[in-house]
Chains A and B, each alone.
Chain A
Amino acid sequence: MTVYAVITFHNTHFALKAKKVLEKNGKTVETIPVPREFSSECGFCCKVPWDERDMADKILREHDVQVEHIYRWERDDDKERKNKFTFV
């Protein structure tokens, strides 16, 4: 099982800016569509390794990127793709 932190934002601009800022700071980050469990609206969020969430949050704050929520995403690597989200 892999654990990620999924960071959501108030709009797409923040999500895309977050990706650039985190990449520039050497973080492993991926933009993914906001999972249906969180919002039915179209949007991007950032996925980072769970252990890097605090550092990512700090970097984003320093760059004026407003974070909406951070979720814990547990993803089973089997074919079933059992995901579990917890709001933290």
Chain B
Amino acid sequence: MAYQIDARGLPCPQPVLKTKEALEQAKGSSLVVIIDNEASRDNVIRFLENSGVTVEKVETRGNDFFVHTKETAGSVSSGIKPEDHPCAVPSGAGSALFINKDRIGHGSDELGTNLMKAFITTIKDLSVQPKTICFMNSGVKLTVKEAATLPYLKELEEKGIEMLVCGTCLSYFNLKEQIGVGKISNMYDISETMLKSSKVITL
């Protein structure tokens, strides 16, 4: 009789922790671990193998994975800790840039404006790129027609970078009709995007 663990819906590293617990309680019988994402599946398999347990097969049923093991060796005393199985950043998460003004830094507006333009023209040529760029307050001015930054932001958008432009801010500056790139967004989308991102860089 296999010892079954349902680790669906659990955030990383919980599935590995539950598997470890189950190994101790299974007392030699085989295990079936049910997981609903690839990162956890890989982590659980790696943990089992490192613990000396043979993974017999991995079944995919719908969105779920069933990891079947052979009979475990009774008391499994491995030095492997769940911490050794780092939680991968969920696929799809990336970094976000939060641009909350139309220039970089304080000291000189002229310099700050040129630095912002240079920053945007530079990131479009780099191999590392953000997943999303959020514009708020006077940052929205970078996205409107006539803005020197507009052609470069358009290039970034064509490369698949999502641009969220604060609608409240466009409206405040009376620029709603002038938007030239990205999509008019709201506080819900912008805050949610930032919280979901692997990191947020504020300019």
Contact = CB atoms under 8 A, between A and B. Distances in A.
Interface stretch (B85-93, B95-103, B117-125): B117-125
A31 B110 CA distance: 12
Contacts of A31: 114, 117-118
Contact of A16 (B114, B121, B122): B114
B118 A16 contact: no
Contacts, number: 16
B111 interface: yes
Contacts of B118: 31-33, 44
Nearest to A20: B110
Contacts of A33: 118, 121-122
Interface string A32-61: 110000000000100000000000000000
A81 B111 contact: no
A12 interface: yes
The residue in B110, B114, B121 that gathers the most chain A C-beta atoms within 10 A of its C-beta is B114
Given A33-B122, A81-B125, A16 B111 contact: yes
User: Which of B117, B118, B121 has the most A CB atoms < 10 Å from its CB?
Assistant: B118
Nearest to A32: B121
A16 B110 CA distance: 8
A16 to B, nearest CB: 6
Contacts of A32: 118, 121
Given A16-B111, A31-B117, 8 more contacts: A12-B111, A19-B114, A31-B114, A31-B118, A32-B118, A32-B121, A44-B118, A81-B125
